Structure 1
Amino acid sequence: MPDATDADLSRASDAAGLTVGEVSTRLGVTVRALHHWDEIGLARPSLRTAGGYRLYTTGDLERLQRIVVYRELGLGLDRTRAILDDSTTDVPGALRTQRSQIAERIDRLQQLSAGLDRMIDAHERGLLLTIEQQAAILGPQWNPDWPAQARQRYGDTKQWQQYAERSASRSPEEWQAIAEAVADLDRALAEAIDAGVTPGSPEADQLVERHREVFASYFPLTRQMQVCLGRMFESDPGYAAHYNAIHPGLATWFRQSIDANARTHNVNPDTASWQ
């Protein structure tokens, strides 16, 4: 809102008036805006100097003050002109309409603010579930410290950003569906090794592709990145323990299956990198 006082306005009542620069400072609008309003006839100064410079009177400033108020309320210049100059305009009705639009805008901004809070929280925590929800959805083997450890290790990567942004908009029910898809895949891997499925076979390749699809719930997974994960599944004690608990030897079998599938897509497992 403009901060001009009655005393400020009264100073323009003498014959000298106020210059464009003085009005710009007092009302907090740009000189360019004042020139534009003059050119379109919305707010013309009543006085001119001998050299043709604009001078604004008290009445001019009062009109400008109303224009600034209406502009800050979001009214366009045409609507502002109608309110100021058209005696048939329903001014209270126009202002009520604008108030409703502002209320809608405030609601949208509040929703945006809440979304930003969730996004910030997701980037910092990774998983927007309570400890109780994590235990119920992800099972008793889940360690609630894992997301914080993952952020510490991968927080500056593109993949963590993708994971966090997806997490920010994900409901507990959606996490439940992902957890079930992971559990179904683990069971299918165990059944495959039990059935004697060999790495590189069509059945093993299908499971590797299924793993990429399931993992894509977290972030997009290239074949090279999947090879890197396969190495980690076999070499990292935590991951190896997880897969070998599902079925003895599964960590190595799964890494071999990922490598074999990668070769069929012209990816060399020996030189694959996280890209």
Structure 2
Amino acid sequence: MSVVFDFTDIKDYNIVVCGLGGTGSNLVPFLCQTVAMNNEKNIHITLADGDMIESKNLRNQKFIEKDINKPKAEVLCSRYQRIYPNINLSYYDKYITDTAKLMELLLFRKSYRPLFPVLVGCVDNNATRQLFHKVFYDNNISDILYIDSGNGTDNMEGQIVIGLKRQGKTILSPVADVYPQILEDNDNIENEVGCVAHISEHPQNIATNLYAAITLFSILNNLLFFDKLNKHFYRFNASDGFIQNKDIFID
């Protein structure tokens, strides 16, 4: 039967958005606005990306001309901290190349109470997803929600997979278990692996990125405002306006 996971026991969240390109940069304003309107929970957001803004990013990312040559993470953090001064927002403007740094960001503690870690992956390289996968299964993290978004460059299709671990037990399989070829892939990324893929000269269509961002936002809104999680994965086609999702089932 299908089930809905109840998160009413969680009042403190640490959300790490990793990758601030076409999907991640469009998610940030939605996420910051909903967190600013939520006075019942203690929510911290970290924006992570090592990329600098280029002119080609203006076509499908949430940047403007005066942002060019500035760090994506710093620009978005500064902008939305000004708009919503009451939210807890920080940034990390370097590439994440090892599990230790990601663990440090996820296990951030601002008070005596631990924050429930939520990793939002908006990357389009599997080398970084492999790193996310290792962190998800790390024994030092007993609770984690890992939401991964992926979409194509040459088409307008994409998918979002939700992985969940509670008290050391995997409840929902993360993306690399659903698509095991992720673990076999060897990405060829310029210079070093970071939290955003190398952007081609033909970027994803902005409608594809917006579909992904809005779907991610819907998941996070359900979690933060309605304390529930009821889907395992989503598939969408921005060209046709089609979204398919799969309920969570238990035997």
> TM-score normalized by structure 1?
0.20
- Richer in strand (by share): 2
Structure with the bigger RCO (C-alpha within 8 Å, sep 6+) is: 2
More helix by share: 1
Larger Rg: 1
